[in-house]
Amino acid sequence: MERLDSQPRVAEFAACVCGIQSRLFGYIHSLVRDLNDADDLFQQTALIMWRKFDEFDRDRSFFAWACGIGRLEVVNFLRSRGRRRLYFSDDLNLLLIEAQEEMTSEETEERRDALAKCVAKLRERDQELLMECYQNPAGVNQAAGRRGRSPQSVFNSLRRIRRALYVCISRTLTKESRPEWIA
């Protein structure tokens, strides 16, 4: 561990990570779907990336490299949880990484910015429901209990809200003249 004297490398690593971290986090989260797990796995992945940074081939995509490491972490994690086959195969993962990579950091940022605006356009009770459900993993059940509704019907409401948000975000991005197919 003689890395203390490698200050330029730290800066380089930090710059690389900065450029992709949001998308890497999104990729990991799309695989585990739990924010806490994604958070842990992201941290682990970042640490391993640092440890293996020497081996990273500068001609390759840093993002694809990072996702490759993240994917292994996720698979190990899901296997350790005994979630048999509740994850995607390796070759689909490669395709998904490719699709992730195609979505630029810029687009990711724009999507998040647009989300804030679109959430603000929701009816107040939809906003409340959304935040309540997403607050923790038991959010949907809690929200259902509090409203005397079945979890399924809350899931249905959530879907409606998410679809509306997705459409709203797509429109916002289209207005900002994204290529046609992104909408």
Partner 1 sequence: MSEQEQLPEHWKELIEDYLDGLLDASGIQELEENLRADEVARRYFVRYARLHTDIHLEARACEAGSRALEQLGRLSENQKALASTATLIPPPARTARFLAHPMLRWTAALNRLGIAAGLLIVIGASWWLAAGWVGPSRTEDEPAIAWLVNAQDCTWSGSGPTGNLQSGKVLSIERGLAEIHFQCGARVVLEGPSVLELISSKSARLTSGRLTARVPASASGFEILSPQGKVIDLGTEFGILADKGSTEVYVFEGKVEALPAQDSPAEANTVSLTEHQGAQMAAGRVTIRPVLRAAAEGQFVRAIAPTPVIVPRTMRLTFAEGVNGSIKDRAGFGTGLTHRLPGTGKLLPEADGNLRLNTDKAQLELTTSNSDLNTQYKLDHGEYLGTRLADLGFTGTEDFAVTVAIPNIPALEVVGQFGLYAGVKSNCNIRGGLIGGPAPGQYTQFIVNNNNGSDSDESEVGLLTKGTDLRLTLKRIGGKYSLAVENLTKGSTSTLTLRHPDFLDGVPDLYVGLFGANTQSEVRKTLIFKDFQATVWKTATSTVHSGDAAPKLSTAHHPFANRSIRLPL
Judged by CB under 8 A, the chain residues 82 through 101 that form the site for partner 1 are: 84-92, 94-96, 98-100
Please name the helix (run of DSSP H) or strand (run of DSSP E) that holds residue 85, with its range, or none: none
- Minimum distance, C-beta of residue 63 to partner 1, in the bound complex (Å): 12
Q: Which amino acid is at 173?
A: L
Q: Which of 68, 74, 143, 172 binds partner 1 (CB under 8 A)?
A: 68
Q: How far is it, in rounded angstroms, from Cα 54 to Cα 68?
A: 16
Q: Which of 123, 159, 175, 176 binds partner 1 (CB under 8 A)?
A: 159
Question: Can residue 170 be called a binding residue for partner 1 (CB under 8 A)?
Answer: yes
- Minimum distance, C-beta of residue 104 to partner 1, in the bound complex (Å): 12
CB 32 within 8 A of CB 81: no
Q: Which of residues 3-42 bind partner 1 (CB under 8 A)?
A: 3-4, 7, 10-11, 13-15, 17-18, 21-22, 25-27, 29-30, 33-36, 38-40, 42
Give the list of residues 6+ apart from residue 52 with CB closer than 8 angstroms, or none: 69
